[in-house]
């Protein structure tokens, strides 16, 4: 287990499912020990309702999350080089993060987290798929950063 980075960016494809879950979980588990944000390769979707629902089960509020892309961050003056660690939850976001940070001394970790979108035949099956994704992120987080704060 490594020391807690001062700032972490979680990223995925659309910043609508996995990376908002990770941002919310990180803030809930570790409080203000790190500055935590999330982004996507693209910003073409709104926050996913199933992500909102399964995070609400743990007391994590995602309703107000606004999706954003790496480009949106740059346009607002927030540089990737300002983060100590980028955790990519998809291959596409890992590739983009590595491309955008190749001139910076910055760690990019790839956590291949299952994308639950499109799985499940009914609402309950979909919720189960999203819970598996949420729990996979949580387990990876605890393995990487240690037991949560209480």
Q: How confident is the model at residue 2 (pLDDT cuts 50, 70, 90)?
A: low
pLDDT at 149 > cutoff 90: no
pLDDT digits (tens, 9 = 90+) for 60-109: 999 999 999 999 999 999 888 889 999 999 999 999 999 988 888 788 99
Pair of tokens at residue 115 = 């994308």
DSSP-based three-state secondary structure for 4: coil
Phi-psi region of 107 (alpha: psi -120 to 50; beta: other; left: phi over 0): beta
Phi/psi at 60 (5° precision): -105, 125
Name the residue among 140, 143, 73 with its Cα closest to residue 101. Answer: 73
For the segment 111-135, what is each residue's pLDDT rounded down to a tens digit?
999 999 989 899 999 999 999 999 9
User: Each residue of 16-38: pLDDT tens digit?
Assistant: 999 999 999 999 999 988 999 99
**How distant is the alpha carbon of residue 70 from its chain centre?**
13
Distance of CA 81 to the CA centre of its chain: 17
Contact 22, 50 (CB under 8 A): no
Q: What is the DSSP letter of 64?
A: T
Q: Which domains does the chain show, CATH number per domain?
A: 7-145 (3.40.50.2300)
Tokens of 69: 């892309």
Residue 147 has pLDDT above 80, yes or no: yes
Regarding beta strands 35-40 and 107-110, do their DSSP bridges make them parallel or antiparallel, or are they unpaired? unpaired
Q: What's the full length of the chain, in residues?
A: 150
In terms of DSSP H, where are the helices of 33-84?
Answer: 49-56, 70-75
Cα–Cα dist 111/10, whole Å:
10
pTM: 0.93
């Amino acid at each position: 287990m490594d020391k807690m980075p001062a700032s972490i960016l979680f990223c995925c494809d659309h910043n609508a499912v996995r990376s908002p879950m990770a941002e919310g979980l990180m803030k809930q588990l570790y409080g203000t020990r790190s500055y935590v944000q999330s982004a996507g390769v693209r910003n073409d979707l709104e926050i996913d309702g199933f992500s909102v629902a399964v995070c609400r089960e743990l007391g994590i509020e995602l309703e107000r999350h606004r999706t954003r892309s790496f480009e949106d961050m740059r346009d607002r003056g927030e540089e990737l080089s300002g983060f100590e660690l980028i955790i990519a939850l998809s291959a596409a976001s890992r590739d983009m993060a590595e491309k955008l940070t190749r001139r910076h001394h910055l760690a990019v970790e790839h956590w291949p987290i299952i994308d639950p979108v499109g799985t499940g035949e009914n609402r309950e099956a979909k919720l189960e798929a999203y819970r598996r994704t949420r729990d996979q992120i949580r387990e990876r987080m605890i393995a990487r950063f240690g037991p949560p704060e209480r």
